[in-house]
Structure 1
Amino acid sequence: MTHLLDLIHPDAGTVLISEWRTGTPERTRAAADAVVQEWAAAEAPPARLAQHLFVATDGTGLLHYAQWTSDEDHLAWARAYRTAVISRVDTLVPGIERPGLNRTRLHRSVVHDAEHSPGVFAITMTEAVEQTLENASTPATGLLATHLHLTADGGRAIVVSEWTDAAAHEAAIADAPGVRRYTLHHSLTGGRASSSPIRPPLPQ
């Protein structure tokens, strides 16, 4: 699997991270297909530098990781086009829950192992920014990299961590709440797309 730093666009002024909760593997697959079809059918906005779609390993949702030139450019596009795009997806997969969009900047990456490919990406949200960085400096078994994204107001952090597999991540975090695991499903960067089939759920 691709490392997150391979997906980072150097000109990105903002990173938009959002989760869609779809509920079942069947609905997740249908939603992912609908999103990819929308990407293929529409002309890519010049300000959208890269868009990556992740699928939850338990089959219950999607994660969008989008890089734009600026928040202002994204907001201008959203006002003009987002409603139409979302409504077409919702027609095919009604009832998707969207907790909200997080506008972030990649603050710091700590890479421990760039040779092994990650089996899963784990997503957590925290207000303990300094503690998160300290923990990232001493890797648990199976942790390949940690990428800290700060929200626009600097009050929270979204952590994207790379792990060898779900078992290593589960062993390290024990019963930590609010952590979700994803695999990369589809990428669109500079007008070029790449995709892979949704993987079956990994052992939980």
Structure 2
Amino acid sequence: MTHFSDLIHADTGTALISEWITGTPERSHAVADAVIDEWAAGEKPSARLAQHMFLSTDGASLLFYAQWTSDEDHLAWARAHRSEMVSRIDTLVPGIERPGLNRTRLHSSLVHDAGPHPGVFVVTTTVADEVEATVRPAPGLLAAHIHLTTDGQPTTDGGRAVIVTEWTDAASHDAAAATHATGALGFKRYTLHHSFPNGVAQRASSGT
């Protein structure tokens, strides 16, 4: 699986992180297929630099990581197109839960080991004061990518940060979580499912 840093577009002005909770692997795959069809058939705005979709390892949810030139450009597109797109998907797969959208900037990336390819991505929500504890070196931790809100404060509400970490495998993350007090408020594990960098569809590869 590719490194998260390879998914980052250099011209990104805002990184949008959102979760769709489906409840089952079957529903997640149905939603993923519907989203891919929408992305392929719909308008490809020049302001959308890249869009990546991740599937949770338990199959119960999808994570979207979209990179746009600015929040204003995304909001203009959303006002014109998002409601109709979401409505079509909800018709196919009713009952999707959408907890909300995090508007972020990638603040910094910390690479511990650039060699191995990640086997799993872990998305962690943590309080601002515990970011350092969350990204400290651990066996199997390859890299950490810290996202902050648009006003420079940690995301989302109440002084939190959203951190995407790369791990060699889930077992390494389990071991680290069991031995370190990370301050994390919650985490989920994902694999990359599909990418639309620069508007061109690319199916995620499971190879290294």
TM-score by length of 2: 0.90
After superposition, the C-alpha distances for 1:134-156 in whole angstroms (9 at most, x for unaligned) are: 552x3111100000000224132
Note closer, same or farther for the CA distance 1:90–1:197 as it changes in structure 2 (3 Å cut). farther
Q: What's the secondary structure of 1:139's corresponding residue?
A: coil
- 1:121-200 aligned within 5 A: 121-129=121-129, 131-133=130-132, 135-136=134-135, 138-153=136-151, 154=153, 155-174=159-178, 178-196=186-204
The alignment covers a number of residue pairs equal to 196
Residue 156 of structure 2: aligned partner: none
| Alpha-carbon shift at residue 14 of structure 1 (Å) | 0.2
Is the contact between residue 151 and residue 158 of structure 1 (CA under 8 Å) also seen in structure 2?
no
Counterparts of 2:76 and 2:118, CA distance in 1: 35
Contact 1:48 1:69 in 2 (8 A): yes
Q: CA deviation at 1:177?
A: 5.4
Aligned to 1:40: 40
Which residue does 1:20 correspond to in 2?
20
The aligned runs of 1:71-90 (5 Å cut-off) are: 71-90=71-90
Equivalent pair of 1:145/1:162 in contact (CA under 8 Å): yes
Structure 1 gaps, min length 5: 199-204
Residue 68 of structure 1 corresponds to 68
Structure 2: runs of 5 or more not aligned: 154-158
Cα RMSD over matched residues? 1.7
Structure-1-length-normalised TM-score:
0.91
Cα distance in 1 for residues equivalent to 2:8 and 2:205: 22
Match of 1:50? 50
Q: Percent identity?
A: 66
1:113 CA displacement: 1.1
